Amino acid sequence: MGNERPPLHEVRAITFDFGNTLVAATSEALERVVRRTASAVDARSGPFDRSSLLAAWAEERTRQFAEEVPAGREVDVEQRVVRVLARLRGMAPPSDGERWDDAAAAELSEPAERADAVEAYSAAFVAEIPVPPEIGPLLARLSADRTLAILSNWPLAATIDRFVAAAGWDRYLSAVVVSQRVGAIKPDPPIFRATEAALGLPGASILHVGDDWAADVVGAVRAGWRAAYLRDRQAGSPLPSSDRDDAVTADLELDSLADLPAALA
């Protein structure tokens, strides 16, 4: 992969995390997505008590993060749908410390309705999450002399694809690398290696920008990349996060993505 570390202004590619870096994934915003999804699920598979549906979704999302992220796995939205529908149809959730019998839970729903629920969730995200107006011009400016890509942990790669297309960002991006497609999450090396392969570049020539210390900064540095830390972006978000430590040092620390071009000059 090469050990050369060029001056920061000579990096040839920049990758961006998605949630809480390019797009604000606040609790309020994601609650709008879940409410819209709940309406679609209720119409397709219900009727259900709406408060029970929303509570089950939130609890199962938290359970998945607790089970999968420490093991280096991405969460599965269809699995969440399986568990939510099973609960709404009378199956009790497992006790704390126990795992779901997902095979038994899946018997309480049909593949088609689960697929429709996943599709509804993806469509709801694109419909409900606003496109930050400053990101398009920033990507346009940076893409003039660098290769750009998204490198994200996210349970539905298709959702990022659809959001990027709707926002018009796809014209600036050479790749969209997502944990669901790769089968590994940041900070694990395979997702960084997959990105190097997608871009055709060695890690030392790539700068990764993200808001999560462990996933984005530690992951990038240990993969031999450059790293830029976007500070203070996780407050009010239900997405998994980590505390900063002294394990590595970021090449850049930013309060806003708008500061990136000047920092690279």
Q: What is the pTM of this model?
A: 0.92
For the sheet containing 226-230, what is the strand order? Answer: 175-178, 147-152, 13-16, 206-210, 226-230, 252-254
Q: How far are the Cα atoms of 20, 35, 49, 119, 223 from residue 16, in angstroms, in the given order?
A: 10, 28, 39, 25, 15
Sorting pLDDT into bands at 50, 70 and 90, what band is 234?
A: low
| Yes or no: domain 8-25+131-264 corresponds to CATH 3.40.50.720 | no
pLDDT digits (tens, 9 = 90+) for 20-58: 999 998 889 999 999 999 999 999 999 999 999 999 999
Measured over the CA atoms of residue 131, residue 137, residue 142 and residue 145, the dihedral's sign is: positive
pLDDT digits (tens, 9 = 90+) for 177-220: 999 999 999 999 999 999 999 999 999 999 999 999 999 999 99
As annotated, the residues of the chain forming the CATH 3.40.50.1000 domain(s) are 8-25+131-264
pLDDT digits (tens, 9 = 90+) for 78-99: 999 999 999 999 999 999 889 9
Task: Give the CA count within 13 Å in the CB-facing half-sphere of 171.
Answer: 10
pLDDT for 13 equals 98
pLDDT for 8 equals 85
pLDDT for 134 equals 97
Sorting pLDDT into bands at 50, 70 and 90, what band is 2?
A: very low
Percent over 90 (pLDDT), the chain = 86
